[in-house]
Amino acid sequence: MVLPNVISPEAVLQARRDIYRGVGTAWTALSRKDGDPGAGDEVRTTGTAPSIAALFNDFGLRQLLEECLEAPVPEVQQGQIALLFPGNAVNQSNPKYGDSGMAQCGHPGDSIPWWGWSGHLDGQWAGGCVPPEKPDVPETDGRYSFESPMEQTFNKDGETHWYSDPSTNGGLLHFSPESNLANFTCLVGVALSDQTMEGVGNLGLLKGGWKVVNDVLNQQRAAGGTLGPEDYQGGLWPREDVKAPNGHGLRHMPDAVREAFKEDAVTTPDGQIWPRPTLMQLKAGDAVVVLHQTPQ
Ligand SMILES: [Fe+2]
């Protein structure tokens, strides 16, 4: 659901100013400690600026959701800032491996069609460290050890294990015996820049993909199993894609979704299907509300 022109130009500019301020601060801090000047953790903290929460709280979006859900929706305290840095057309937030780093799905970011859109559902475990490259000897690479998956563990170089809990996004491998997906209602996005052409960091959505996701979840429930990735009932949604180039691709949506959108997709020589997302073309101040089951 697109809501055109709901945020005031002043509020958009204030949010942009706070983001730029956060980026500048992070850049300075990172270069002082010889870090990689990428989109680091400090940049994410700008999501806690009051101007970010105001985008949701002060322009009717909260009230709209209350009407849709027929339930109280509290004010938000923060928002996630999604930035696309110049020259980094494929945004995989993995500065360690450069602009074309390994994506969570286990494929190099610059090998993924549709500006690197590989699709995911929110509320999932996203790996305890940056997605690994394929190691020469997996047995001796500490990042691959599953010896202590329920706590943060490190290899000899101090790197977090791939399988550690919580993950890089704070998600857990297993939220409860019933579900490996965190509870999630919807995504609310606000464009703070002109995004009326493709490839400028647009939100990508798989229109109608929620129906396939819903179907898979119902099948998992009917089989009496845990909802979400890891799939204990035989092939509905295995968590890891061992055929991915890094051997540890994460299936952030079931393969049935790729299959259902095959016709309009790009299929790479390795057989992987990459569905074509709808890249939202929004103007600064437009908002979008997305159902939680829609791959994005
Ligand atoms: Fe997401």
- The rounded distance, in Å, linking the Cα atoms of 171 and 149 is 13
Once rounded to an integer, what is the mean pLDDT over residues 204-215?
A: 97
- Is residue 191, in this structure, part of any structural domain at all? yes
pLDDT (mean) for 4-14: 98
- Centroid of ligand 1 to alpha carbon of 122 (angstroms): 5
Q: For residue 6, what pLDDT band results from cuts at 50, 70 and 90? A: very high
Question: What are the beta bridge partners of residue 102?
Answer: 108
pLDDT value of residue 32:
64
Tell whether the model's pLDDT for residue 92 goes beyond 60.
no
27/100 same-domain check: no
186 and 128 fall within a common domain: yes
Q: Kindly state the percentage of the chain with pLDDT values over 70.
A: 79
Q: Measured at the alpha carbon of residue 168, what is the angle toward residues 130 and 79, in degrees to the nearest 5?
A: 125
Q: In this structure, is residue 4 part of a structural domain? A: no
Mean pLDDT value across the chain = 84
Q: Is residue 97 pLDDT above 50, yes or no?
A: no
pTM of this prediction?
0.86
Examine the pLDDT at 208 and tell me if it is beyond 90: yes
Report the domain count for the chain. Answer: 2
1 is a domain residue: no
In the predicted structure, residue 42 carries a pLDDT above the cut 80 = no
Cβ burial 5-33 (10 Å sphere, 16+ → b, else e):
ebbeeebbebbeebbeebbeebbeebeee
Ligand 1 centroid–CA 276 distance in Å is 17
Q: Are 116 and 170 in a shared domain?
A: yes
**Ligand 1 center to residue 30 CA distance, Å?**
26
Tell me the mean pLDDT in the region 70-94. Answer: 76
Q: How far is the CA of 128 from the centre of ligand 1 (A)?
A: 17
One domain for residues 94 and 152: yes
Instruction: Select, from the ranges 18-27, 128-137, 237-246, the one with the highest average predicted confidence (pLDDT).
Output: 237-246
* 179 and 201 both lie in a single domain: yes
pLDDT greater than 60 at residue 233: yes
